[in-house]
Amino acid sequence: MSTTPSPSPSIQTDTLTQVVGWRRHLHAHPELSFHERETADFIHATLESIGELELSRPAGNSVVARLITGRPGPVLAMRADMDALPITEETKLPFASTNPGVMHACGHDGHTAILLGAVRELVARRDALCGEVRFLFQHAEEVNPGGAEEMVQRGVMDGVTRVIGTHLWAQLECGKVGVPSGAVTAAPDTFWITIRGKGGHAAIPQQTVDPIAIGAQVVTNLQHLVARGVDPLDSAVVSITQFHAGTTHNVIPESAELNGTVRTLDAVVRTELAARMERVIRGVTEAHGAEYEFIYERGYRPVVNDAAVTAELTEIVAQVCGREALAPMRPVMVGEDFSAFQQKAPGTFVFVGAARPIDGAVHPHHHPKFDIDERALETGVRIFVAAAERWCARGAL
Is 121 catalytic? The answer is no
Q: What is the mean pLDDT of residues 267-271?
A: 96
The catalytic position among 81, 83, 132, 371 is: 83
On whether both 20 and 100 belong to a single domain, the answer is yes
On whether both 169 and 194 belong to a single domain, the answer is no
Is 83 catalytic? The answer is yes
> What is the C-alpha separation between 183 and 300, in angstroms, rounded?
13
Which of 273, 297, 321 delimits the end of a domain?
297
pLDDT at 12: 85
The catalytic position among 36, 81, 141, 336 is: 141
> Measured between alpha carbons, how far is residue 198 from residues 203, 215, 255 in Å?
14, 13, 8
pTM, entire model: 0.93
On whether both 242 and 96 belong to a single domain, the answer is no
Neighbours of 196 (CB within 10 A): 17
- The strand pair at 177-178 and 187-196 is best described as unpaired
Q: Is the pLDDT of residue 181 over 50?
A: yes
Give residue 258's domain range: 187-297
Interval 97-154: pLDDT, tens:
999 999 999 999 999 999 999 999 999 999 999 999 999 999 999 999 999 999 999 9
Cα-based angle 139, 114, 157 (whole degrees, multiple of 5): 50
pLDDT at 396: 55
On whether both 162 and 213 belong to a single domain, the answer is no
On whether both 20 and 159 belong to a single domain, the answer is yes
User: Where residue 218 sits, what CATH number does that domain have?
Assistant: 3.30.70.360
Q: Is the pLDDT of residue 4 over 90?
A: no
Which residues have a Cβ under 8 Å from the Cβ of 260 and sit 6 or more positions away? Answer: 190, 191, 238, 239, 240, 241, 242
Interval 208-258: pLDDT, tens:
999 999 999 999 999 999 999 999 999 999 999 999 999 999 999 999 999
Peptide bond into 145 cis (omega under 30): yes
On whether both 311 and 228 belong to a single domain, the answer is no
On whether both 270 and 337 belong to a single domain, the answer is no
Residue 370 placed within a domain? yes
On whether both 178 and 320 belong to a single domain, the answer is yes
Q: Amino acid identity of 46?
A: T
Q: Angle between the 108-124 and 37-50 helix axes, to the nearest 10 degrees?
A: 20
User: Where residue 380 sits, what CATH number does that domain have?
Assistant: 3.40.630.10
Which of 297, 312, 337 delimits the end of a domain?
297
Contact 113, 377 (CB under 8 A): yes
On whether both 209 and 175 belong to a single domain, the answer is no
For residue 64, list its beta bridge partners.
56, 136
Q: Is the pLDDT of residue 7 over 60?
A: no
Which of 297, 321, 338 delimits the end of a domain?
297
DSSP state of 129: B
